[in-house]
Structure 1
Amino acid sequence: MEPLFIFFLLLCNICEVFNDVKTSDIIEETGVKTAKVGQTLTLRCSCQHEAVTCFLWYKQSLGGKPCMISKRLRNSKEAIISSVYKDRFQVVSGPEEGLNDLIIKDLQPSDSGMYYCVVLEFNAIEFGQGIFLRVKAASSNSQLPVQQSTLTPLQIGDSLNLSCSVSAEPCKGEQSLYWLRHTASQPSLMYPSAKSCIGLKNGPLHGVNCTSNLELNSVMSSDAGTYYCALASCGMVVFGEGTNVEILVHSLLVYFLSVALAFSIIGLLVLSFLRHKLKAKLCLSCKGKENNTESLHYAALDLKRVEGQQQEDNAVSICVYSRVRSKKE
């Protein structure tokens, strides 16, 4: 039974070593970054963790799947760029510093999307929080701004209801509307959303106006963050300024959690103290067993017979032995 326990203990230690890289170890830009068509942009990323064996970049367009842009081994200076991105994308590497910056030249509206810096450690893959790149076209100044609703702080369990209105130029193809959530501690998430669009033909307004609502029931603290409304249309993305969603924790809940935490800490301290006392007692018992040897004490008595009794000798020595067992407590 003991060898099996040792095996599982070693297995757990190996798993901890193999899964040591965390999202927080990846140093990168997050949130939303805006650039103009034709510019050259650098997305910063680095990770100095020793367990990293490979660096990658992924791009996820609105409504699309993540696609690999580049792949580079940690000790290699050259990165393998996918054929789709090879013309305008470049990776700046620094094996010693764990550097893995992505350079995009001659930005195009189609470059808009979520970019993830990814590290590989043995057989585990870890995504960074990601950054959303918004590429503005030259004609975007003629569009109406994205209008998002403001929101008061919510309590845990409340319902979240966000709305936005987006105006864009008319174009062929499907126009998709999304909500993007960004937080400081979690990777960004995209929520596809149903939209209602109408044509704008009156006066100076020409194009399409789309509205969308985002509803979340029974919000939790993890739903907090900044929510951006985005319309993918005409090969570009029309982006909102974002709505900050704050989730307040009820004071009574904080009190109960604090009390529970205090009792947990006290319980751990008591258990630790009892464990220490039990261990000390067992050690004393072990020492007692080691010293549980018999000590023999000898006493010699010299007896003389009373006068009048027959004596073979003048004095007879009788030796009486007494055994006394001593035990150290």
Structure 2
Amino acid sequence: MKIIQDKENIRLTCSFLHPYVSAAAWFKHTPGEKALLIASAFSSTPQYHNDFDKSGRFIALREQSSFNLSISNAEPSDSATYYCAVADYSDTALLDCTVLVLKGSSSSLSAVLQPPVSDPVELGGDTTLQCSILTDTSAGEHSVYWFRHGSGESHPGIIYTHGNRSDECKKSSETDSPTQSCVYKLPKRNLSLSDAGTYYCAVLMCGEIIFGNGTKLDFVEKGVLEPVTLVLAASNIISIVMVVYLYRKSHSHHEGLVKPIIIQREDVEIQDAEMF
């Protein structure tokens, strides 16, 4: 995290040593809003997006082993999380993440971050969702809520609240930094299909509520087939066998009816030939 002053000039650096990096990009994420693409570069000339080039304060520079972003005359709206992403021929990765907080900004809540679930989740298994909050130490108490938005549901519903707690927070290691980091965890045990969905962490502070970007919880299929699946598979196999059996039986019965007719015609032809 970087504490910046009003009208300060900022330089964000994204370095990469991989020689096959084909594209690089900078993103800006303001708490409670979707991430915005600032600039991207496939070669030495960067391309700007979402009108970040209109003010002239955002300047991107692509070099051989880095993609840097400069912000001049910092404003309160520049308080956000900035991500640098790079891509090669087969993969994409985030290389840098910087949280900028303008000193004296009216907002005491600087960021609400929700990392994705690190390990694959299976039915009946366990996992832990995490929510990290970066806030001013002088901001006072805050409340944290968890919401779940399942498939087919119109609105997310609240499932858990941490209430007013400060024991989850640690002050920044920087000497003069007025910020603190608070980490909240939501354990999920013996997971079922009803637990699938997107989980949102929301923070209420000073009459303002800000949502995180959400953590999606999906399930991977187990290696062992469920009993219902086995029954359905067996039923399908039996049906196919019965259809094949009936088809063959019907076909052989049809051949049996046709064959005597052919023999009779042959006998008549033979008798007719003897008469001549």
* Structure with the larger RCO, 1 or 2 (CA within 8 Å, 6+ apart): 2
Fold-level match, TM-score > 0.5? no
TM-score range normalised by the length of the shorter chain? 0.3 to 0.5
In the superposition, the TM-score normalised over structure 2's length comes to 0.42
Q: Which has the larger radius of gyration?
A: 1
In the superposition, the TM-score normalised over structure 1's length comes to 0.36
